Amino acid sequence: MTRRWLSLPLATALLVPLVAACGSDSGGVPVINLYYSTEQNLSTVIEDCNRQAAGRYRIVYNVLPRAADEQRVQMVRRLAAEDSSMDVLGLDVTWTQEFAGAKWIREWTGENAAQVENGTLAGPLETARYEGKLYAAPKNTNVQLLWYRRDLVQQPPTTWAEMMEQARQLRAQGKPFRIITMGAQYEGLVVLFNNLVVSAGGHILNDDWTRAELDSGAVRALQVLQEFASSGLTSPSFTNLIEDPARLEFQAGSGAFHLNWPFVYPAIQQAAPDLARNVGWARYPGIDPGRPSRVTIGGYNLAVSAFSKHPDLAFDAALCLRNEEHQKFSAINDGVPPTIARLYDDPEIAEAYPMKDDILAELQDAAVRPLTPAYQNVSTVLSASLSPPQSIRPEQTANELRKSIQDALESKGVLP
């Protein structure tokens, strides 16, 4: 869920009030209302798109709260009421299927779809589809990396078992040893579990996302998560940690390893420059030797409301907001990794993202969270069932999850 470097992670920042846009067109120029989370320099992109529109329309930025759950609630309420003042919507990658299934957003077709699909990384593009059709345009993406202390670790581990063994050796030597990541009962725990499941070759749902599966790979993931949580190698606060508190704990010096989003890099450089000189990065650890991890992608997609009064202009505005020029600007200035593959060869991107090769490698073999309109229900069930992770009983927990997730898919007994 975390998707920026220059501001706090979504889950930890204060809410920003929604700025209501004028519902009517001003001076004869159609207003395209953009509903999007806080992005520090997005206004500059909007100004450029308005300049390029040359009076055909004017984009107005309606700032949603930083917290993803609050963003979703505000948009769902307005869309359920068929609010025609909404035009372009910034959707967390887990919401596209829900909004498309509810018929709240329009399909991308023809030349508009072709422009989105051309050169966009496959993983982010997959999050923008529902039932084989394109319903959103990936604007930015994200993946977690392994951050580690180069003054403590000679070679970064490639598997969880190797990472835990290195941590045990550091503990025996009286050195900082902890593996710090997010384990609170929220979406971050679901992401951690999904990373493990897909890296083990497993599935939470079946291939068409309609049935709870929890196969042997998922059971293996439950075993690894339980062993990790019970190892004594985690932070004492593991079951309460979300993104930025986890980063702060690693920054304080007690950790040898840290699993988190790329915002860690500039944050530690600014807040702890002495430590930053010794912080390296590598691909997220996998499960089996010789098989690279597959890591859950985050990010945001742009969709056009089904109730927009100016859908053609809204599609044009969304294309401008996520085009190559503006994805490059946002990547460099707001720390949101681009979804257009060729940007990773750009020298300016390389300077802003010294870890861009690792980010791209993970993106090219990315994992996605279950692509279902009922994802909010599935996520609620997973985070509740997995918490606290040290209490997991792999086979039993898998059996329980099969039933509760199937109920969630059918919207039985779970609040959205």
Q: What is the pLDDT of residues 368-381, one digit of tens each?
A: 999 999 999 999 99
**How is the beta sheet containing 279-282 ordered, strand by strand?**
178-180, 255-260, 145-149, 279-282
Q: Judge whether 282 lies within some domain.
A: yes
Main-chain phi, psi angles of 355, to 5 degrees: -100, 20
189 and 86 part of one domain: no
Per-residue pLDDT band for 26 (boundaries 50, 70, 90) equals low
- Read off the DSSP letter of residue 59: E
155 and 283 part of one domain: yes
203 and 351 part of one domain: no
Q: Judge whether 58 lies within some domain.
A: yes
Model confidence at 15: pLDDT above 50 = no
Structural tokens at position 329:
């600007």
227 and 315 part of one domain: no
Model confidence at 69: pLDDT above 90 = no
What does the alpha-carbon distance between residue 406 and residue 84 come to, in Å, rounded to a whole number? Answer: 34
What does the pLDDT read at residue 5?
A: 41
Cβ atoms 284, 357 nearer than 8 A: no
Structural tokens at position 80:
């359920």
CA distances from 141 to 15, 300, 302, 336, 344 (A): 22, 6, 12, 7, 12
What does the alpha-carbon distance between residue 109 and residue 130 come to, in Å, rounded to a whole number? Answer: 13
Counted domains in the chain = 2
CA neighbor of 261 nearest in space, from 4, 56, 50: 4
Model confidence at 121: pLDDT above 70 = yes
What does the pLDDT read at residue 335?
A: 86
pLDDT, mean of residues 381-386: 97
Strand positions, DSSP E, 243-362: 255-260, 279-282, 298-304
Per-residue pLDDT band for 413 (boundaries 50, 70, 90) equals very low
Cβ atoms 147, 260 nearer than 8 A: yes
Q: Judge whether 11 lies within some domain.
A: no
Model confidence at 323: pLDDT above 90 = yes
Main-chain phi, psi angles of 102, to 5 degrees: -85, 0
DSSP H or E run through 89 = strand 88-92
188 and 291 part of one domain: yes
CA neighbor of 48 nearest in space, from 61, 36, 38: 61
174 and 284 part of one domain: yes
Q: Taking the model in full, what pTM does it have?
A: 0.89
Percentage of the residues of the chain whose pLDDT score is greater than 70: 92
122 and 150 part of one domain: no
Cβ atoms 207, 216 nearer than 8 A: no
Model confidence at 229: pLDDT above 90 = yes
Q: Report the mean per-residue pLDDT for the chain.
A: 92
What does the pLDDT read at residue 27?
A: 63
Q: Judge whether 216 lies within some domain.
A: yes
- DSSP for 108-149, please give it: P-HHHHHHHHTTB-HHHHHHTEETTEE--EEEEEE--EEEEE
CATH number for the domain spanning 93: value is 3.40.190.10
Cβ atoms 304, 288 nearer than 8 A: no
Q: Judge whether 24 lies within some domain.
A: no
Q: What share of the chain is helix, strand, coil (3-state, %, to 5)?
A: 45, 15, 40
77 and 88 part of one domain: yes
227 and 167 part of one domain: yes
231 and 125 part of one domain: no
Per-residue pLDDT band for 57 (boundaries 50, 70, 90) equals very high
Q: Judge whether 383 lies within some domain.
A: yes
Range of the domain at 326: 29-142+297-364
pLDDT tens figures, 238-266 = 999 999 999 999 999 999 999 999 999 98
